[in-house]
Every structure is written in structure tokens, then in C-alpha cells.
Structure 1
Amino acid sequence: MADTPTRRTYLKRTGALVGAGLVAGCSGDSDATTETSSPATDSETATTEAVTAEQTESETATAESNYATELAPVGSVTLDSPPENVFTHFPWFPDMASALGRGDTVNSLWWEGTAAGLDYFTAEFDGFDVEWADEATEYGFSKERLYELDSDLHLVDPAWVTTQDNWTRDDVDEVADNVGPWLGNYYSSYHASPPDEWADEYEYYTLWETFGRVAALYGERSRYEALASVHDDLLETVEDGLPAESERPTVAYLSISEDLSSIYRLRLNAPGYWNSHTRPLGATDAFGGEEFSGPFAQVDMEALAEADPDVVLALWTVTDTFDFGTLTQNLEDDPVGGELTAVRNGRVYPQGTRWQGPLMNLFQLEMTAKQLYPDQFGAWPEYESGDDYPEFGAGEQLFDHRRVADVLAGDV
């Protein structure tokens, strides 16, 4: 990418990030360390301080603008003003924009279920709208489409883009030079390996570290810091309330169809932001240490019976396109599924999406904590398709819902 100003932005490609405050492996933040980090002690309480220090350095170095950040593999990005027209693809970035009060800037995203999921979790917040709900489109995008949208900022990992059909690194550089810069880090999702040509420029970040950098470009650091403080308090509440490891349930984290025809297991305690709502809870993966490549692996009912989890977490099931009651009934009626410990004890629970941004992450961490540890955090109520997220009383909330609503309304 060129080191020259464009119409909207000055973009300087730095390659690998330098400085202890900028790299992903911040002390105390197991999301950004290696896969050997302990899920039981996972904490991101240093996130606010680390990102704040990084943003201060960035602003000092670029005095001509307050809208600056650094994120591998792009490097440094500086905007002349907050972006008003923003392209996204994966769902965590629209969530971030909404959390910053800038959901109206999102001009595109993939998977319409993103809006339904965020609607479910934020139903109690009067006046909060998912402003990009009608912007969902098909998976993938062309260079021509990006020229047509003429976005100020592309919240997509350019390394990932070069793995898609008809995209090269030259194409990525062209869009950055002629339209607007990129910012994204897809492979932090589950600490996958980036394409070889990007490997030397890559670092891993937590969801909340990435959120802080997006907030800097929007000029919304105060909102970010307020929400990050809520998140830090939530993690502390969870850590303080966890039972001894010997008392924790075994859990199968699944993507499962209503008719049971397809069952995929996901990692429960892996690094990366796809597990930022399950890893801090430190439960035992019912499938043990069995390795597999990619983000998920297909299993059958017999393999699930062999694992025999105490709890089943069923991903993608709090949308209006999934009938959770049909799923649980089919499990009860199945000759193998009906014998599962989780089914017999009524411990099959709905989940949202691993493609979570900061708002979904807050709610999903609270949700999953109650599902796994009802004695410690309060029971999760029975869910029926079409329900909104429960309105827990102040004494039942694991984070301050009112505070989050205030931040979304602009009171930071």
C-alpha cells in the first residue's frame, strides 16, 4: 500500500508492529498469547490500559489527526475525520460500529442473521436500533463493488481478502490507494495461520483490542473505554464466581441442525475471539483434547454419545429462522440423543453466534455463565423460539445493563 495521502486518508504500511504496548501478547491477556494459555484464568482486564497507551502513542506520532491507530497486518492508519461510509463483511465489525453509536455508517455486511442476533440481545434497550439491518448481502465481494460503494474505510482483513477468488495483493493495495484503507485481523478469530505472504506482518489480537482500534478511527475512545470497563468487571465477576475445576461440567459446543442431520463440534476453550464468551468460563470440553483442523469438525450422534456431555451449547439458535423447541424435542425422541446426560437433565441451551462483536460478547458471556454455572451465577430461564433476551433484575445481572444502555445512548 502506498505511503502517500489519498482523498481521505494517510496510510502508512508498517509491516510487523513494534513496541511492547502494540503487540498482541500483552501481559495478563490470554486471548493474545499462545494456545497453551489456561482457560480457567483467562482475563482481559489489561485491555483498556494497553489499548489506551497504544492510542496515546499513535495520536502523539500523528499530531495532524486524532483518528489514528495501528493493527497488523495493515500497520498504521490515519483518517482526516471519522468515517461516514464504512464497508464491513464479517459481523463483529457492525457490532462494534453500533457499540460506538456509529451503526449508521455501515454500508454492507454479510449474513443477515447478524442483525437478528443483535436485536435479540439488546431488546431491553429502548431507542437502540440496528441501523445496518437492511445492508446484508451475499458472501464475498468484488473490487468493482468496493469502487461502487466508495467507502471511507474497509473493516476487513486484507490478508483474508487475498484468499478470495479474483483478489490479489495488488488489488488490495489498489483499493487502499484509490478508495479507502483496510483495517481487520480475521485470523485472530481462532489463531489460524494467515497466508504465507502475510505471515511476517501478522499478530494476534483479542476482540476488545481490535474494538479499541476501531474506536480510535471513529474518534470514540470514551465509549470504548466505558464499555471495556464493563467488560473487565464482568470478567472479574466470572473469575471470582467460578467453582473448582473438579466441579465444572463437561460441555459439547455444537452447531447442530433441527433435524439432527448435521452435527459439528467447535472448540470450547481455544484462543481467539470466537471463543471469547466460552473460554473465560473454563468448563471441560466433552470431546477432550482431540485435535482437528479448521474452526469446526463434523461428528455423528454416536460420537456425541461417547462424549456424553453434561451440557450442550447449541450455536446459531436464537434467531427467528431456527426452532429451538424442535431441536430439543428431536434430541429427546432420538434413541441415542435421548440418552445423553445433557438431554435427560434438560441442559441443552441456545447460543448466539461466535461471530460476536463487543455487545454480543457481553451478553453471551453472561448468558453462558448462567447456563454452565446456575448455582454460582443464577439459572438461565427456559428459552422458546421468538423470546427476547431475559430482563434480569439488577441483582441477577453479571454486568451493568443500564450502564451499557447509557453508553449506547451517548452518556459516557
Structure 2
Amino acid sequence: MNDNDDTIRREAPTRRDYVKYGGTVVGGGLLAGCTGDGPESDDSTSNESSSEESDAADDERYTVDLSPVGKVEFDAPPKRVVAFDRQWIHIAYELGHGDAVVGAARPDSLWFTLHETLPGVSIDLDGIESFYGDQIDKEVLYEIDPDLIAVDPLRAPTLEGLDESDIEELERNVAPFFANRYSWTEGYDGDETYTYYTLFDLYEKFGEAFEAQDRVAALREVDEDLTETIHSDLPPEEERPTVMQVGYYDGEFYTYDIEDGGIHTRHYREVGARSAIRETYGDDVPFEFGTAVDFETLLEIDPDVLIQASSLFYGDVEGVSHEDTVEEVSEHEVGSELTAIQNDAYYPGGTPYAGPVAYLFYSELTAKYLYPETFGEFPGLGEIPEEEQLFDRQRVADIINGDI
């Protein structure tokens, strides 16, 4: 990709342009006119009409500037969207454009479980086609024929099946890439300039693309109210429990740094969580985050609260449950000594790659996990009594359903 070009707007007519404009693309422009055996038209009238139509089209166009993509020009909200990471699909549905989603890497693991606990919200995922098997299938992308590819162009070369030449080809022949993946972890390590966005600033970029800024503003207000509710009742820092997010698999605990930057740890910051790892080791953590530690190391850290990544959605995975994970850890000789196990404080967590609505739930649930005496205990997904809910479910449902 050309580093000096901050736009991925396609200047020359493409196959999709011919389809979109009914074959009237001529010489890189759009010309209105007629052909056939009818009366000859007045050239000046035809040219004037063409100019007026072109001016009207220009007036309808709008540009969204998103790092690392640059400036992308739209003439209407995207009608056919594909995405690799599930958060972009969440966002499309939350912006009222779920019907635009026609392709996903794994349509069976989009995880709208939390959304569907909202009153009157149902998510229809029928008809979403997979373009990913062992790798990205570029030819399937051509067949799906999207007008927006929700993949970060700097992440795309890390995916099996795409290299930089493939990205340039798809931008030229199919659709622009449009996403910013590394704001989730603030972990981009390349040479290009990269802007990290907050969750709602990034949501705003997609709101601009879909011309749904009113929904963004409304959901942002709900989020701000939730944050204020939590912050107004937080106990003093020294009274807060220590917490550790893990991914337990096959006898080992994969580690997360809840104090690093980025969107994926947002809910821990929202509830003022204390990192059990940092409390134990300070800045001299003896392992790399993302790697696995054994039971003995976890007991050395001994967090007050354990949160299992993604297990809120284990019900969507056949043969797996959060309860099974807790039981396996509690039956281990060392695991049974963990404070979190003894106090029934090993809780289900969410996937970090999700949209703003899921993060409302994450903040609420984490507040309940850490401070049950203040915010009420977690009784189970979808079972929180209305008087103990920390944000207005009906308001969020109305926003998703377009009743702003």
C-alpha cells in the first residue's frame, strides 16, 4: 500500500462501478444520456442535465477519516459489509445496519448473547456467508461483492491468505478496507503512523460511515450515565479486591494485563479494578502477558477475584460451560486453595472483541463481581433484577431498534 496516499478511494472505474451504475461509467466519470434510435437530444441540454446530476451526487458524498485507512469517500451508507473481527459486525447491528452484513470470518461465533437479553432485541444472522476456512478466501470475497471490507488494512497482512498485493487488489476491484483493530490492545508495532481511539470515538467513525451519528450519541449518553453511577459508589482503592483475568485451558492459565491500555481493558478501568498481578509483582512481572502460567504461579498471585475470558459465551459453544471450568479448577489440589475458588469468585467474562453494547454489560458485570455489597451480586446472565441493573435495558434496546 502506498504510504503517501491517505485515501483508498478508487479513482478508476471498477467492476463494481459498472454494476452499481448500470454500465454508464465512461472514461472514469459518470455520464447520463441515452442511446438507440430515438430523437437526437440537444447536447447542451444533455450536458446541463448531466452536470446537475453530477453536482447532486457530489453533494451527497461524504468522507470519513479513519486511521490507519485514511480518508474514505461514501455516497451512501454501505449496503454490503464483510468483517473479520466480530466487533465490526456488532457495531453494524448497533447502528441499525445489521442487514448490511453479508460476510464474516466465522458466522457461527459472532456472540450476540448479551444483546439478546435486551427487551425486544433479536439478531438475525441468517444469510451471512463465511469467507474464511483455513485462510481468507479472496475469491469468495469477490463473489460476496461487498462495498465495505471491515478489516484493518495493517492487520490484514497478518491473516492467512492475504498479503499487501491482495489488499491493493481488493481495494481496487471490490471495496475499501475500513477498520482500526489495534485500538483494542494499543499494540501496533509497525512503522506506520497509527492512531488509537477510545471505544466511542471509534464507534463514532462507523456512525459517520453509516450516517447513524444519532445512535452513537444516544448510546454514548447511556455509557456516560453508567460510568457516573459506578464511579459515584466505588469504595476507597485500598478496600477494593484484586482481580485477574485468565483463560484457563488444559491445566494452564493464560494471562491478561488488565492495566494495559486499549479498549479491551476498558471495563476494568471503569470499575477501578486493582490488578492482582501488579499487586504481587509490581513492574517486575516474571512472565510475559499472553503466556500461560501454572497452578502454583496462580496461587502465588492468589487474586481475590478471577474472571475467565469469553466464558459468558460458552453457552454458544457446544460441550463447553463456565461451570465446567470452575469445577475443574476447584478439583485441582492447588486450585482448591485459591481464594477466588474458596469464595465462589471465579466469574464468567466477555470477549474483548465486541461492540459498545457488550461493554455496557462488561462494566456492569465487573462492578458486581468486584463490589457485590455495593452493586448487587451477579445471579446469572439475564437474571439481574431490574432494581439492581446499572443501565437502562429498555433505552439500549430502543436505540438498537431505532427509537432514538
User: Shorter-normalised TM-score: what interval?
Assistant: 0.7 to 0.9
The aligned counterpart of 1:93 is 88
Contact 2:104–2:128 at 8 Å: present in 1 too? no
1:80 correspondence with 2:80: no
The aligned counterpart of 1:159 is 154
Bigger relative contact order, structure 1 or 2 (CA pairs below 8 A, ≥6 apart): 1
Residues 1:2 and 1:356: Cα distance change in structure 2 (over 3 Å): closer
The aligned counterpart of 2:328 is 330
Cα offset for 1:65?
Answer: 3.1
Cα offset for 1:110?
Answer: 2.9
Residues 1:172 and 1:190: Cα distance change in structure 2 (over 3 Å): same
Contact 1:67–1:219 at 8 Å: present in 2 too? no
Letter in 2 for 1:396: E
Contact 1:66–1:219 at 8 Å: present in 2 too? no
Q: Secondary structure at the match of 2:196?
A: coil
* CA deviation vs aligned residue, 1:136-181 (integer Å, no higher than 9, x gap): 5546413323222211101110001123345333332221122111
Q: Secondary structure at the match of 1:326?
A: helix
Taking structure 2 as the reference length, the TM-score comes to: 0.79
Contact 2:118–2:394 at 8 Å: present in 1 too? no
Q: Secondary structure at the match of 2:307?
A: strand
* CA deviation vs aligned residue, 1:257-289 (integer Å, no higher than 9, x gap): 3xx523201111221111122222221111114
Taking structure 1 as the reference length, the TM-score comes to: 0.78
Contact 1:85–1:105 at 8 Å: present in 2 too? yes
Query: For residues 37-76 of structure 1, what are the structure 2 equivalents within 5 Å?
Result: 64-65=59-60, 67-76=62-71
The aligned counterpart of 1:277 is 267
The aligned counterpart of 1:145 is 140
Residues 1:271 and 1:331: Cα distance change in structure 2 (over 3 Å): same
> Aligned partners of 1:366 and 1:91: how far apart in 2?
21
Report how many aligned residue pairs link the two structures.
348
Letter in 1 for 2:199: L
> Aligned partners of 1:254 and 1:330: how far apart in 2?
14
Residues 1:105 and 1:292: Cα distance change in structure 2 (over 3 Å): farther
Cα offset for 1:135?
Answer: 4.1
Q: Secondary structure at the match of 1:203?
A: coil
Residues 1:230 and 1:298: Cα distance change in structure 2 (over 3 Å): same
Match of 2:376 among 375, 378, 395: 378
Residues 1:71 and 1:6: Cα distance change in structure 2 (over 3 Å): farther
Query: For residues 246-285 of structure 1, what are the structure 2 equivalents within 5 Å?
Result: 246-257=238-249, 260-285=250-275
Q: Secondary structure at the match of 2:73?
A: strand
The aligned counterpart of 1:45 is none
- Greater displacement, 352-361 / 125-134: 125-134
- Greater displacement, 219-228 / 121-130: 121-130
Letter in 2 for 1:392: P
- Greater displacement, 285-294 / 90-99: 285-294
The aligned counterpart of 1:306 is 300
For the aligned residue pairs, the C-alpha RMSD in angstroms reads 2.4
> Aligned partners of 1:168 and 1:183: how far apart in 2?
16
Q: Secondary structure at the match of 1:255?
A: strand
* CA deviation vs aligned residue, 1:356-378 (integer Å, no higher than 9, x gap): 21111111111111111112221
The aligned counterpart of 1:218 is 210
1:118 correspondence with 2:112: yes
> Aligned partners of 2:226 and 2:199: how far apart in 1?
15
The aligned counterpart of 2:103 is 108
* CA deviation vs aligned residue, 1:18-63 (integer Å, no higher than 9, x gap): xxxxxxxxxxxxxxxxxxxxxxxxxxxxxxxxxxxxxxxxxxxx97
Q: Secondary structure at the match of 2:227?
A: helix
> Aligned partners of 2:79 and 2:121: how far apart in 1?
21
The answer for unaligned runs of 5 or more in structure 1 is 10-61
Letter in 1 for 2:350: G
Cα offset for 1:131?
Answer: 2.9
Letter in 1 for 2:340: A
Q: Secondary structure at the match of 2:382?
A: coil
> Aligned partners of 1:360 and 1:113: how far apart in 2?
18
Residue identity over aligned pairs, in percent, reads: 32
> Aligned partners of 1:128 and 1:110: how far apart in 2?
21
* CA deviation vs aligned residue, 1:326-374 (integer Å, no higher than 9, x gap): 2222222211010101111111111121112111111111111111111
Letter in 2 for 1:214: F
* CA deviation vs aligned residue, 1:279-337 (integer Å, no higher than 9, x gap): 22221111114558986221111110000010000112122222222222222221101
> Aligned partners of 2:220 and 2:289: how far apart in 1?
27
Match of 2:11 among 4, 16, 24: 4
Q: Secondary structure at the match of 2:117?
A: coil
Residues 1:112 and 1:144: Cα distance change in structure 2 (over 3 Å): closer
> Aligned partners of 2:127 and 2:352: how far apart in 1?
19
Cα offset for 1:119?
Answer: 2.2
The aligned counterpart of 2:36 is none
The aligned counterpart of 1:182 is 177
The answer for unaligned runs of 5 or more in structure 2 is 1-7, 18-56
Contact 2:136–2:161 at 8 Å: present in 1 too? no
Letter in 2 for 1:273: I
> Aligned partners of 1:312 and 1:153: how far apart in 2?
39
Which structure: larger Rg?
2
> Aligned partners of 2:84 and 2:105: how far apart in 1?
5
Contact 2:9–2:73 at 8 Å: present in 1 too? no
The aligned counterpart of 1:131 is 125
Cα offset for 1:225?
Answer: 1.1
Letter in 1 for 2:299: A
